[in-house]
Each structure stands twice: as structure tokens, then as C-alpha cells.
Amino acid sequence: MKNILIIPDKFKESLSSAEIIDLCIKAIKEKYEDANTHAYLISDGGDGFLDAIANNQKAAKKIPLDTLNALGKPIQSEILIHGRNAYIEVAKSSGLHQIPLNQRNPQYSSSYGTGLELKKAMELGAKKIYIGLGGSATNDGGIGILSALGFEFLDHNNNPLKPIAANLIKIKRIIPKAFPEIEFYGICDVGNPLLGETGATAVYGPQKGLQAGELIALENGLSNLNQVAENQNLALSEKSEKGAGAAGGIGYGLLTFLNAKLLKGGDFMMDLIGLEQLVHNCKIDAVITGEGHYDGQSLQGKWVSHVIKFCDRHSLPLLGFFGKISTDINGFSLACEISNPNWTLERNMREAPALLSVALKKALDKLSI
């Protein structure tokens, strides 16, 4: 009997991990009727983080709550509670996918809604809070989250500022809060620092709707936030820490003001799923993974990079499926770009289920296991 492990990332704004898994299982069963599939929802901290946690920790309870999206509009979201652990997904309340394309402007967005989720977790008695960073619509350095937890960011007249990115440059003093009994963890797949050409604003700002002139303004805003924090001895070298630039600088906010630890999303998920135990308990004949776009960032801590290392470590055949491949690709027994080069991006995204199904069938015919 064939044992096939299915652990794909999402195709962003096109196919969820769950949808990809369903298509994989269907194609596998058509090729190998008696195949045994081991499928796991994963997330490196972005969209789908709570779904992945819930799928792999059946005892976790979903707690609904009223909060705000990145533009301050009331929405309903949820967090997960498992014992004294809480799990929060930034993309649930402060996510880019919730904001219509013509309304995306990180200057006026805030992570305040995510802060309300952290506040709820604390009220429910959580002592360890895991925050999935990714997919955010914000570039506020985490001041939205912190404001919801009681921090104050004051201007030159000692007036509280609304916690949006455009006000970062106006911050002159910070009144912090302390939560010594709570451990905070940020889960992310990126190693970007807060500032500079590889920082939060330069790399992710354009993807969130920032124009060229706005990039400079918000870079200066984040720099000012760090400078004020350093002047008050609240920050040391957190701005340069790997992952500080995650989720529009939320990584920095967690490190600096909540004494958080940043964990690599792939390592966190590997441990949660228990893949090492699985591969020792049964013979895995092949592994299937993928993501929407395989590019230069894919090997910089993203989920696919962890899968490549895992398969190399255990000498497992690896099949990769991608919407687009735009850099050299190694480590796969077979890697497939599923998009049709004659179609627009929008059509390829719309037709992704059919494209992936065809690619899966062709790949399984080529693979000898």
C-alpha cells in the first residue's frame, strides 16, 4: 500500500491548503485505489493559521468575538483556546484580503483589531499566546495591537495618537504596559528586519497598496517609533532582529514591547504536526507540497523550504506544484508550474482547481513509487 504525505501551503487568494489537499487526494485515489494519504493543513503564520491549528489540535476551542478590521470597520472574528494556550491570526482581523483593492492604504490601517483579540485571550486566562504573523494590511509597527492592550502613544502635546501608520512619525512619548505573567510568541516565515531595503515597508508596502512617496513617509514613521523606544530604553537592537519586519512591523512591536519570541512558522508547524514521528512510524513513498509562487523568497524560511529539508533528510521523493515558478528550483523529484502562460493572472487564479487537477494527474503518471 502506498503512503503519500500531502502538506501544501496555500495558493494565495486562489486555493486554500484544504482545497489543494482535496484535489490531491482525488487524483491519488484515481491513480492508486489503495493508497493511504496523510494530509495536514499547514500555515506558516499567515492566512489559515487558525484552521491549521484547529485541524491539528482537535481539543482547541473556537471563541468568536467582535472586533475591527484594518480600517476600523466592525467585523466578527475568532481566536482559539487550548488549555492555557491561545492562538491568534493577524490576518483574521487585520488581513489584507478583507480590504477591497480600491480601499487598500496602509497609511490609515491599524492592527488594533488584532489587539482586541489578544485582550480577549488574556481575559480568558491564556498564559501563552501564539500570534500568526502574515497576510496583514498594516504597516503600523504593531502600535494598533499595543494600543488595544493599554499602551499610549503621545504626540508633542502629550495627546494620545490614533494608532495608524500615518501617525508613527508624530510619536514623541510612549506609555507602556507590562504583562509579566504572559508569554507571547510571533509565528512567521520571514526574516526581514524592521527598516531598510529589506524591511517591512520597502518589501511589503507596495503589495499592500503603498505608492513610492508613501514608502518613504512610513519608513520614517517606523524609524521614529524605534528611536522613541530607544530613547526611553524600551528597545535595544530589536529593529534588526530577523522577523521584526513581519506583518508590517508587528514582529518588532511584539519583540520590543511585549518581550515576545519569534518562532519560524515552518519549524512550529512541523512540531505541531509531528512529521518526524510520522516518518518513523510508517514508510512514506512520496510527499506533495506547493505554494502559489515559487520565487527568491521561497527558500528564505517559507513552508516549502522546510519541506525540502525534511524530504532531503529522510530521502523522500518530493512533488511540488506552483502557480508560478520564477527562479531556479532544486530539491524536487518533480516540480510543476500549473499556470497557462497564454492566460491572464486573474484567469489562472480562477481556473486554478482545474489546472492543478491536470498537473497532478500528469505528475502521478510520471512518478514511479
Q: What is the pLDDT of residues 289-320, one digit of tens each?
A: 999 999 987 887 789 999 999 999 999 999 99
275 falls within a domain: no
Q: Are 69 and 97 found together in one domain?
A: yes
Mean pLDDT of all residues belonging to the chain = 94
For residue 312, the surrounding DSSP H or E stretch is helix 303-314
Weakest mean pLDDT among 125-129, 143-147, 279-283: 279-283
In angstroms, the CA 49 to CA 56 distance is 11
Q: Are 217 and 117 found together in one domain?
A: yes
Q: Are 19 and 135 found together in one domain?
A: no
Q: Are 291 and 204 found together in one domain?
A: no
Query: Could you tell me the pTM of the whole model?
Result: 0.90
214 falls within a domain: yes
Average pLDDT value for residue range 179-187: 97
107 falls within a domain: yes
pLDDT in tens, 46-101: 888 999 999 988 899 999 999 999 999 999 999 999 999 999 999 999 999 889 98
Q: Are 126 and 227 found together in one domain?
A: yes
Residue 45 near residue 265 (C-beta atoms within 8 A): yes
Q: Are 128 and 239 found together in one domain?
A: yes
Q: What are phi and psi of 313, to 5 degrees?
A: -65, -35
Helix axes 212-231, 246-258, angle to 10 degrees: 10
Using H for helix, E for strand and C for coil, what is the string for 94-125? Answer: HEHHHCCHHHCCHHHCCCHHHHHHHHHHHHCC
pLDDT score, position 297:
78
Q: Are 15 and 54 found together in one domain?
A: no
Long-range contacts of 234-243 (CB under 8 A, 24+ apart): 234/174, 234/176, 238/194, 239/193, 239/194, 239/195, 240/193, 240/194, 241/193, 242/191, 242/192, 242/193, 243/133, 243/186, 243/188, 243/190, 243/191, 243/192
Residue 260 near residue 184 (C-beta atoms within 8 A): yes
Q: Of 265, 294, 317, which residue sits at a domain end?
A: 265
53 falls within a domain: yes
pLDDT in tens, 317-342: 999 999 999 999 999 999 999 999 99
pLDDT score, position 213:
85
20: helix, strand or coil: helix
348 falls within a domain: yes
| Angle, CA of 91, 17 and 81, to the nearest 5° | 50
| Angle, CA of 59, 290 and 78, to the nearest 5° | 35
Q: Are 169 and 211 found together in one domain?
A: yes
pLDDT in tens, 193-204: 999 999 999 999
Provide the residue range defining the domain that includes 357: 3-39+285-366
pLDDT score, position 6:
97
Residue 291 near residue 321 (C-beta atoms within 8 A): no
Side-chain half-sphere exposure of 98, counting CA atoms within 13 A: 26
CATH number reported for the structural domain that contains residue 343 in this entry:
3.40.50.10350
272 falls within a domain: no
In angstroms, the CA 78 to CA 81 distance is 10
278 falls within a domain: no
pLDDT score, position 19:
95
Q: Are 14 and 75 found together in one domain?
A: no
Share of the chain above pLDDT 70, in %: 99
CATH number reported for the structural domain that contains residue 193 in this entry:
3.90.1510.10
Q: Of 218, 237, 265, which residue sits at a domain end?
A: 265
Q: Are 83 and 17 found together in one domain?
A: no
pLDDT in tens, 221-277: 999 999 999 999 998 889 999 999 999 999 999 999 999 999 999 999 999 999 999
**Confidence grade of residue 369 (pLDDT, cut at 50, 70, 90):** low
Q: Are 34 and 54 found together in one domain?
A: no
Q: Are 192 and 331 found together in one domain?
A: no
Q: Of 217, 234, 265, which residue sits at a domain end?
A: 265
248 falls within a domain: yes
pLDDT score, position 299:
82
For the chain, how many structural domains are there in total?
2
Q: Helix H segments across 159-211?
A: 200-204
